């Protein structure tokens, strides 16, 4: 069940799930505490290569880094995946504009995991502003933000990642 997205911003952004590992992330996201948020981001590392090997290649070296170097990164996507190499990897949300829509438990994808693209246990769904139809997905695994998705996704398509019995955990806690 998808929560009502017509709540006023203050009410929408103040909702919590009652699960500490999720709510601490919501507090950091909507509380403007960038230092706390940075501590909740899972940073990965890999040996990079200088030539991209297709769309979504997170192992490509950032500009100025030599081929074969080990680099740290955070996986994100704006339609296609790519790495972020410098903090802040995830920025605090603007509670006066961004709208917290839902938090859903994510149904496992099944099959082999995609390297550097963690599945996660939960997905926080946010609308970046009142006029937007593109939603932002913030994937949480074991109390850490493991990746983000912006663009090419609607609230409904992200909510569907919870499977046929998906439930908005914000609505359950209310």
Q: Domain extents for the chain?
A: 9-40+89-173, 44-84
Give residue 7's pLDDT band: very low, low, confident or very high (50, 70, 90): low
Judge whether residue 6 has pLDDT over 80.
Answer: no
**Would you place residue 107 in the very low, low, confident or very high pLDDT band (cuts 50, 70, 90)?**
confident
Helix (H, G, I), strand (E, B) or coil at 48: coil
- The answer to whether the pTM exceeds 0.85 is yes
In the chain, count H helices and then E strands: 5, 7
123 vs 83, higher pLDDT: 123
* Strand ranges (E), 28-79: 44-47, 70-78
In angstroms, rounded to a whole number, what is the distance separating the alpha carbons of residues 146 and 144? 6
pLDDT digits (tens, 9 = 90+) for 25-53: 999 999 988 999 999 999 999 999 998 88
Is the distance from CB of 147 to CB of 163 less than 8 angstroms? no
């Amino acid at each position: 069940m998808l929560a009502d997205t017509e709540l006023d911003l203050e009410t929408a952004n103040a909702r919590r799930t009652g699960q500490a590992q999720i709510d601490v992330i919501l507090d950091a996201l909507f509380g403007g505490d960038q230092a706390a948020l940075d501590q909740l981001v899972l940073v990965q590392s890999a040996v990079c290569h200088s030539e991209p090997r297709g769309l979504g290649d997170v192992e490509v070296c950032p500009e100025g880094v030599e081929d074969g170097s080990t680099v740290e990164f955070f996986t994100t996507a704006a339609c296609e995946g790519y790495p972020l190499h410098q903090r802040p990897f995830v920025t605090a949300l603007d509670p006066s504009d961004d709208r917290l829509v839902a938090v859903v438990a994510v149904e496992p994808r099944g099959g082999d995991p995609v390297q550097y693209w963690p599945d996660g246990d939960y997905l926080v769904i946010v609308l970046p502003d009142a006029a937007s139809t593109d939603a932002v997905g913030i994937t949480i695994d074991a109390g850490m933000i493991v990746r983000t998705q912006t663009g090419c996704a609607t609230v409904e398509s992200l909510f569907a990642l919870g499977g046929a019995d998906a439930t908005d955990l914000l609505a359950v806690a209310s």
